[in-house]
């Protein structure tokens, strides 16, 4: 990198927020340098949506904001300026066509996240931003309350009138998002909301999950209890792993669970394997099947009711030997079986660490950032965009839309700040 280069805006981090911010600032007339520490831009973007990149969602504005609960209101201004339809129109102009799937999730038609990354970085560069790879930023330099320069880890100082911090969260760290931005923001006077993982798998007590590892359950009812009080009641898909539970319905609610565990609450989950049947209907079905089973072992009957992997676990936990003939199953046995099918309980002991979450909850405190401009209220000329802010949503394309919308706004505003 040329040490004497001058510029108006330095964007730190070439993820979706940084590339959008850099391109927009350049289009608005600013001289822009985009510094990325990795050897290619958008490493995380390229693995999003199982490498298919769930770009955004068809949800309306209030629902979108709801997905970022409790901090979604902060995004109202950014979404007001650049929302989903603007994003889709933007993608069309750079030859990324999109398709809508189940749950309103919008993906590139070719289902290729790396293609999105390539086109976005090419667009930012053609817009005039100079993308410099392998350039980790170490420090923001502030003078008299204004951003003055940034210092790279190689001790190069690059003077600038504005900087946009787009360093992302602190999860999936081998993509480059190692939480540097949090430390840099803190060092110039910003406070942080505590960092914790969201969209993260959970550890459970006992051996149930381990015995069922690899098993996916579809169409189950998933309820969560904090200190024995039911607080979440959801339907969906989940997965058992060697340490606990994961899968869409678990990940979606993991943020709330992480916060409850941090608050010292006892957390348990209940899995209803037969949500379409209430207890009376399920009991009638069990009675019928046991009756028809006659001298057959209960193992045979359970094969109609459960995935193969669950049969031995069910027998152990209900205390019904698998070689018991159906006609010898007692009313108490049947009651225990019914309870197990409707309320398979697991105690949640912890989440996997921050690094393993898909997004970071917490980050640069929103009260210190102007939502109309994304500019810091602590340092003039310092802007923020993307996951470095205290914003996190569940799955569905919401997080990327927030990165693009805040990146768009920060880029435009940083340019006008420097060109005033
Ligand atoms: C496996 C996975 C799948 C996901 N799938 C989806 C999905 O389908 N849809 C969705 O909406 N969201 C998804 N997310 C979340 C989404 O990827 C993030 O919210 C989004 O990438 C945040 O964008 P960002 O630009 O703020 O940060 P990032 O994408 O994290 O980019 C930050 C960039 O800053 C760089 N950087 C960091 N520190 C420095 C430094 N000191 N100097 C220079 N550069 C630095 C990093 O190398 C990185 O390139 C997924 C996340 C994961 C982990």
Cα of 176 vs centre of ligand 1, distance in Å, is 8
Joined together, the tokens standing for residue 28 give: 């608005």
Joined together, the tokens standing for residue 402 give: 């927030």
pLDDT at 3: 45
- Strand 130-132 to 32-35 pairing: parallel
Q: What is the pLDDT along the chain (420 residues), one digit of tens a residue?
A: 454 557 999 999 999 999 999 999 999 999 999 999 999 999 999 999 999 999 999 999 999 999 999 999 999 999 999 999 999 999 999 999 999 999 999 999 999 999 999 999 999 999 999 999 999 999 999 999 999 999 999 989 999 999 999 999 999 999 999 999 999 999 999 999 999 999 999 999 999 999 999 999 999 999 999 999 999 999 999 999 999 999 999 999 999 999 999 999 999 999 999 999 999 999 999 999 999 999 999 999 999 999 999 999 999 999 999 999 999 999 999 999 999 999 999 999 999 999 999 999 999 999 999 999 999 999 999 999 999 999 999 999 999 999 999 999 999 999 999 997
Contact 413, 397 (CB under 8 A): no
Residue nearest to atom 14 of ligand 1 (CA): 48
Contact 254, 393 (CB under 8 A): no
Contact 44, 176 (CB under 8 A): yes
Residue nearest to atom 50 of ligand 1 (CA): 48
Index of the ligand 1 atom closest to the CA of residue 175: 47
Strand partners, 364: 192, 389
Return all residues near 351 (Cβ < 8 A) that are at least 6 apart: 197, 200, 201, 202, 203, 254, 257, 258, 261, 357
Tell me the C-alpha distance between 387 and 406, whole Å. Answer: 10
Joined together, the tokens standing for residue 95 give: 């030859």
Cα of 395 vs centre of ligand 1, distance in Å, is 14
Cα of 47 vs centre of ligand 1, distance in Å, is 9
Give the H or E element holding residue 216.
strand 216-226
Dihedral sign of CA atoms 341, 347, 348, 350 in order: negative
Q: Best of 168, 180, 197, 359 to mutate for ligand 1, by most ligand atoms within 8 A of CB? A: 168
Tell me the C-alpha distance between 388 and 31, whole Å. Answer: 23
Cα of 340 vs centre of ligand 1, distance in Å, is 41
Residue 63: Cβ-neighbour burial (10 angstroms; 0-12, 13-18, 19+): middle
Joined together, the tokens standing for residue 176 give: 């480059």
Contact 30, 414 (CB under 8 A): yes
Reference 270, options 350, 345, 203; nearest CA is 345
First to last CA, the chain: 27
Pocket of ligand 1 (CB under 6 A): 12-18, 35-38, 43-45, 47-49, 53-54, 136-137, 166-169, 171-172, 176-177, 180, 358-359, 386-387, 397-400, 403
pLDDT at 420: 78
Cα of 162 vs centre of ligand 1, distance in Å, is 22
pLDDT at 6: 72
Reference 392, options 418, 371, 366, 414; nearest CA is 366
Cα of 389 vs centre of ligand 1, distance in Å, is 12
Tell me the C-alpha distance between 124 and 374, whole Å. Answer: 20
């Amino acid at each position: 990198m040329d040490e004497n280069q001058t510029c108006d805006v330095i964007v730190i981090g070439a993820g979706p927020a940084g590339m959008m911010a850099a391109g927009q600032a350049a289009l608005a007339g600013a001289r822009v340098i985009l510094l990325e520490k990795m050897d290619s831009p958008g490493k995380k973007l390229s693995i999003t949506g199982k490498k298919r990149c769930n770009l955004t969602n068809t949800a309306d504005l209030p629902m979108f904001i709801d997905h970022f609960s409790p901090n979604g209101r902060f995004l109202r201004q950014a979404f007001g300026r650049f929302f989903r339809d603007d994003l889709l129109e933007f993608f069309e102009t750079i030859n990324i066509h999109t398709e809508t799937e189940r749950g309103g999730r919008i993906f590139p038609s070719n289902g290729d996240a790396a293609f999105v990354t390539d086109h976005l970085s090419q667009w930012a560069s053609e817009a005039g931003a100079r993308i410099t790879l392998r350039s980790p930023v170490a420090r923001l330099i502030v003078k008299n309350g204004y951003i003055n320069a940034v210092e790279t880890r190689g001790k190069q100082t690059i003077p600038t009138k504005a900087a946009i911090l787009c360093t992302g969260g602190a999860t999936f760290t081998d993509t480059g998002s190692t939480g540097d931005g949090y430390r840099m923001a803190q060092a110039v006077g910003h406070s942080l909301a505590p960092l914790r993982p969201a969209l993260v798998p959970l550890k459970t007590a006992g051996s149930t999950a381990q015995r069922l590892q690899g098993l996916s359950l579809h169409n189950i009812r998933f309820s969560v209890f904090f200190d024995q009080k039911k607080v979440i009641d959801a339907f969906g898909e989940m997965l058992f792993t060697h340490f606990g539970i994961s899968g869409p319905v678990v990940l979606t609610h993991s943020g709330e669970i992480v916060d409850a565990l941090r608050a010292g609450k006892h957390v348990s989950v209940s899995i209803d394997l037969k949500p379409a049947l209430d207890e009376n209907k399920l009991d009638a079905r069990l009675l019928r099947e046991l009756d028809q089973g006659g001298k057959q072992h209960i193992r045979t009957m359970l094969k109609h009711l459960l995935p193969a992997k669950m049969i031995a676990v069910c027998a152990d936990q209900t205390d019904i030997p698998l070689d018991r003939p159906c006609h010898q199953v007692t009313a108490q046995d049947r009651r225990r079986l019914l309870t197990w099918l409707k309320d398979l309980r697991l105690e949640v002991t912890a989440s996997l660490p921050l690094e393993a979450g898909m997004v970071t909850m917490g980050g640069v405190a929103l009260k210190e950032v102007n939502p109309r401009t994304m500019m810091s209220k602590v340092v003039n000329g310092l802007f923020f965009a993307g996951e470095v802010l205290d914003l996190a949503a569940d799955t569905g394309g919401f997080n990327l839309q927030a990165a693009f919308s805040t990146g768009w706004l920060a880029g435009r505003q940083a340019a006008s700040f420097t060109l005033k």
